[in-house]
Amino acid sequence: MRLNWHAGLSTKGFGSNTFYSARFDEQYERTTKIYTAIQGETVAGFMHFRPSVYWNRNHDRFELIRGSEAQVPFNYHRTDVFGLSLNSWFDWTLGRTAFGAEFRNEDIVSGNLGEPLDAPKRISGTDRDYKFGLNSSNLSFHLEHNVLLRRLTLSAGFVAVKNTWNQMPFTLYPGLDASLRIGSNWKIYGSYNSSLRMPSFTELYYSVGGHKADKYLKPEELRAVEGGVKFDSRLISARASIFHHHSRNMIDWVMDTRDAEAVWQSVNHTKVNTLGEEISVAVNLDEAVRLPSSVFQIAYCHLRQSKQEQPFLQSQYSLEYLRHKLTAMLKLQLTPRLNLTLNYRYQDRTGNYTDQNGQVCAYRPYSVVDGRLSWKIDTYTFYLDANNLFGKRYVDYGNVPQPGLWIVVGGKILL
C-alpha cells in the first residue's frame, strides 16, 4: 500500500468591513487553521481502494468593532472536523464502476452561538468560556458507473446522505451525464444532477448584530437539468447551453426594509426556479489574421427566476443574481516578448442594497475595462496591471463602492 500524509498551519487576520452589517465599518476577523490527513492506495486483484482519514481544527475570532471588546464582546468559535472515507473502483467490459462511503463529524463550540453545552470549555488566551455549541455527523454512500465509447460518454450514479443534525432519513440524490460526438468538430451533451446543502452554523444561530437566525432551517435541495452543444476547430471554439435549476428550501438572509427596526433573518424560500442560457466563442487570431499567440473571447449569460421581485425585500443571496453578464477578452502578442491583454465586463444585477446611510438603492448596470502589459525575458516576467481603466464608480455586490482606476506593477522569477 502507498501512503500519503500532509499537515499544515495557516493564520490570517483581515478587515471584514460591512461583512455582517453596513452600520459597523471596523469589523475584523482572525482565523487559525490546523489540518492533517493520511491517504492510502492499494490494489487487490481487479479492485482499487483509496482510504483516507482527516482532521481539521479552526479557531475564529470576530470583532464587530475592532479592538473594542468593551463595546461589543468578540465572537469566539472553535471547529473540529473529523472524517473517514473509502473510495473504490474497478474496470470491466462495460466501463468503470466506482463506489464508496464517508463519515464526517463536525463539532463547533462558541462563546455565544449554538445550543448550551453541558460543561463550558475555556477559550484559550482569555478569561471567557465556550458555553454553546453544536455537533452533527454526516454519513454518505455513493455509486457511479462510467461508459466510454468512441463517440458516446455516459455517466450515472447517486449519493445517499444521512445527517444527524435534523434527524433526516437516508435521502437519495441521483445524477446522469451524457455526451455524443458528431463528426470531428461537434459534440452535444445533456445532464441531470441533484444535490443537498445543509444550513451553516451561522445561518442557524447568528442572532446578534442586527441578525436573527432560525435554528429550524431545512436543508437546501437542488435539481438541475442542462443541455448544450460544443464546436471546436483550429479557428473557433464555441459553446451554447440552456439550463434549468429547481431549488427547494433555498437558504437566504432577507430583510423587510419597510420596517424601521427590521433585521436580517435567515429563511427558506420554498421553491425557486431559475432558467438560464450561456453562449461563448473563442477565436484563434493566429489562424484568423496571422497574429501568433493571440486570441479573442466573448461570453454572455442570461438568468431569470420564477421568484417575483419585491422592492421592499432585500436578499443577500438567492434573490440577488446577475440577470445579464457579458465578458470579452483580447490577448495580443505585440512582440515576441511583449503581450497586451484587455478584459471587458458588463453586469446587470437584480435586487437592491442598503447603503451606509440607511438608504435602499437599486443595483445599476455597469461596464469595466481592465488591461495588462507583460514583458517576459527567459525566467523573468514583469507586468503592469491597470484595473478599471476608465475609473467607473459602481457597486457590484452588497454596499461596498468599488475603487476607480488602480495600477499594480509587479514581477515574477522562475527559479
**Residues 6 or more apart in contact with residue 68 via CB below 8 angstroms:** none
What is the structure's pLDDT at 121?
A: 94
The candidate with the shortest Cα–Cα distance to 292, out of 237, 336, 235, is 336
- Count of CA atoms in the C-beta half-sphere (13 A) of 364: 10
The candidate with the shortest Cα–Cα distance to 294, out of 338, 242, 261, 259, is 338
Model confidence at 398: pLDDT above 70: no
What average pLDDT score do residues 127-146 get? 96
Cell numbers standing for residue 151: 463517440
Question: If residue 229 lies in a helix (H) or strand (E), which one and from where to where?
Answer: strand 220-232
What average pLDDT score do residues 66-82 get? 90
d(CA 19, CA 63) in angstroms, rounded, equals 11
CB atoms under 10 Å from CB of 76, counted, come to: 21
What is the structure's pLDDT at 22?
A: 64
Confidence of residue 255 (pLDDT cuts 50, 70, 90): confident
What is the structure's pLDDT at 18?
A: 62
- Count of CA atoms in the C-beta half-sphere (13 A) of 318: 28
User: What pTM, to 2 d.p., does this model score?
Assistant: 0.85
Higher pLDDT, 312 or 7: 7
Cell numbers standing for residue 15: 478587515
The alpha carbon torsion through 383, 370, 317, 78 (nearest 10 deg) reads: 20
CB atoms under 10 Å from CB of 125, counted, come to: 9
| Single-letter amino acid code for the residue at 190 | G
Confidence of residue 142 (pLDDT cuts 50, 70, 90): very high
The candidate with the shortest Cα–Cα distance to 285, out of 242, 252, 332, is 332
Confidence of residue 257 (pLDDT cuts 50, 70, 90): confident
What is the structure's pLDDT at 333?
A: 92
> Range with the lowest mean pLDDT among 139-153, 156-170, 231-245, 357-371?
357-371
| Single-letter amino acid code for the residue at 355 | D
Confidence of residue 27 (pLDDT cuts 50, 70, 90): confident
The candidate with the shortest Cα–Cα distance to 283, out of 331, 327, 242, 340, is 331
Confidence of residue 19 (pLDDT cuts 50, 70, 90): low
Angle at 229 between CA 224 and CA 230, to 5 degrees: 120
What backbone torsions phi and psi does residue 205 show, to the nearest 5 degrees? -135, -5
What average pLDDT score do residues 217-229 get? 96
- Count of CA atoms in the C-beta half-sphere (13 A) of 191: 18
> Range with the lowest mean pLDDT among 281-285, 303-307, 325-329?
303-307
d(CA 71, CA 110) in angstroms, rounded, equals 19
What average pLDDT score do residues 273-290 get? 92
Model confidence at 138: pLDDT above 80: yes
| Single-letter amino acid code for the residue at 201 | F
Question: If residue 205 lies in a helix (H) or strand (E), which one and from where to where?
Answer: helix 201-205
Higher pLDDT, 73 or 116: 116
Question: If residue 105 lies in a helix (H) or strand (E), which one and from where to where?
Answer: strand 95-110
287 in helix, strand or coil?
Answer: helix
Residue appearing with cell numbers 493566429: 286
> Range with the lowest mean pLDDT among 53-57, 143-147, 191-195, 377-381?
377-381
The candidate with the shortest Cα–Cα distance to 84, out of 99, 62, 103, is 103
Confidence of residue 268 (pLDDT cuts 50, 70, 90): very high
- Per DSSP, 65 falls in state S
| Single-letter amino acid code for the residue at 264 | W
> Range with the lowest mean pLDDT among 148-162, 176-190, 219-233, 351-365?
351-365
What is the share, in percent, of the chain residues with pLDDT greater than 70? 97
Model confidence at 117: pLDDT above 90: yes
Model confidence at 81: pLDDT above 90: yes
What is the structure's pLDDT at 189?
A: 98
408: left (phi over 0), alpha (psi -120 to 50) or beta: beta
Work out the mean pLDDT of the chain and round it to a whole number.
Answer: 91
Residues 240-277, buried b or exposed e (16+ Cβ, 10 A)?
ebebebebebbbbbbbebeeeebebebbbbeebebebe
The candidate with the shortest Cα–Cα distance to 128, out of 190, 56, 77, is 77
What is the structure's pLDDT at 20?
A: 62
What average pLDDT score do residues 271-280 get? 96
User: Exposed/middle/buried for 213, CB within 10 Å: 0-12, 13-18, 19+?
Assistant: buried
What is the structure's pLDDT at 227?
A: 98
